[in-house]
Amino acid sequence: MEGHIVIFPSPGMGHLIPLTELAHRLLLHRRLFITFIIPTAAGTTVKPQNDILNAMPETISSIFLPPVNLNDLPEDATLETRIFLTVTQSLPALRQTLTDLTHDSVKKTPSALVADIFGAPGFEIAKEFNIPSYLFCPISAMALVSVFQLPVLDKMYACDFKDLSEPVSLPGCVPVHGSDMPEPIQDKKNETYTQMVEFAKTCNLLSGVLVNSFLELEPGPFKAMEEGEWCKPKIYSVGPLIRSGSENQTGEGFECLKWLDKHPIGSVLFVSFGSGGTLSQNQLNELAFGLEQSGQRFVWVVKSPHGKSNASYLSAQSILDPLEFLPEGFMERVQDRGLLLSTWAPQVEILSHGSTGGFLTHCGWNSILESVVCGVPMIAWPLFAEQKMNTVFLADGLGVARRVKVGEDGVVGRDEVNNCIRSLMGGEDGHKMRLKIRQLRDLSSMALSRDGSSTKSLLDVAQKWCG
């Protein structure tokens, strides 16, 4: 074996999935041990995480750290606070695990610790062991620019981003309205804002940053980071790292692939708000009525309604039966053309199925990459985190998505849902977006090919880790 690296993902599927793909791709090129060390919160299910980790080759092992108890947190604590505390309270256990690993005579001391932004407190522990720290960004290069620029923007603007009258201009990026900047940094009074500013300052001490994106998708932000004095570490574009599909295509979710087989090419809209996105009851109804009005075929991953838009992020599954919350008679009325899923859906398989012609998405970065790789244009319905910024990039920057208009009551009405669906699936706009995203699909496969930009970048960093 050539080396050993440790991966410390913060809680949530959106972080774990691309990191497992990073591990898979590394193994294609190098013989090395990879250990996932995973912080967990008590009371959250780790089943979807386990399913993915259990399917990994034997040189990739995983260690779940003892669950952290967050019972003392107030009900309304933000998702970021929950993730941050899960990670920071797991640090003693991380230290112990690294101590054990450095005494492992087979695997030997790791040559790198890779963590995502929320897992970054782990870098302090890595330093104690002289292990180089690498940041993995499961976000766009544009969102990464916003992180690097945060200390500058913090000095430049006294007010919150949402109160700015002019769009924020980030180097190399499409202009973005303050209210579309990433949610955790919207409110200067929020402790996450201060943590992010502090984190951004420490980024320049990192040994390197791996971004789950590719040069051809985001040439502007990558160039700006390479040339800008404000970005010190070496940036590696290693994406798109998307789940390559499950070997074991069984279970309720996979039944939908058979359903898709029965429908014409490009005729089905896939509707999903990621692992954690949730809608209010009112919004769920409007979406249902909009889907009904559109007359469109669809597969919809339904989650139980919730007042918070990211309620199922840490557990990835609804606790109550989501189908109970749909408008009365809805299921019967759409049964010939709509399929409702209430469990974890095989998203990559659905998007790559020929019958899928559009994706109504919350614009999580993984979902976007998956849509790009499968060449499926989108309806962008951002909910939380940096999803509004992603939407700006997709709609204004790339022209491969139509953004939903939110009404004054904060709800996307049924007519708007209907209009967006019709224009994406049957309209001229949808056609143009489809052509553009297919060009990006081809570029994404080039980036991952033998001499592609992302493969070169991955080999470059692997060389540092394996010597």
Verify whether residue 15 is a known catalytic residue: yes
Cβ neighbour number for residue 290 with a 10 Å cutoff: 22
Minimum CB distance to ligand UDP smaller for 378 or for 421: 378
Rounded CA-CA distance 118/141 in Å is 17
Catalytic residue among 116, 180, 353, 362: 116
Instruction: Considering the candidates 15, 263, 353, 362, report the single residue annotated as catalytic.
Output: 15
Binding residues vs ligand UDP (CB under 6 A): 12-14, 17, 243, 272, 274-277, 301, 344-345, 347-348, 364-367, 370
Shortest distance, position 72 Cβ to ligand UDP, whole Å: 26
Q: How far is CA 360 from CA 3, 105, 272, 299, 371, in A?
A: 42, 49, 6, 10, 10
Q: Which of 386, 460, 462 is nearest to 145 (CA)?
A: 386
Tokens of 329: 């008679």
Strand partners for 252: none
- Interatomic CA distance for residues 310 and 279, integer angstroms: 9
CB of 358 to ligand UDP, least distance (A): 16
61 CB burial (10 A radius; 0-12, 13-18, 19+): middle
User: Rounded to the nearest whole angstrom, what is the least distance from the CB of residue 54 to ligand UDP in the complex?
Assistant: 16
Nearer to ligand UDP, 14 or 430 (CB): 14
User: Taking the complex as a whole, how short is the minimal distance between the CB of residue 184 and ligand UDP, in angstroms?
Assistant: 13
Please, which residues have CB within 8 angstroms of residue 395's CB and are 6 or more apart in sequence? Answer: 380, 401, 402, 403
CB of 316 to ligand UDP, least distance (A): 7
CB closer to ligand UDP, 148 vs 365: 365
Q: Of 147 and 153, which CB lies nearer to ligand UDP in the complex structure?
A: 147
**Cα torsion angle, 180, 182, 183, 187, sign:** negative
Smaller CB distance to ligand UDP: residue 3 or 18?
18
Dmax (CA) of the chain: 64
Which residues are part of the catalytic machinery? 15, 116
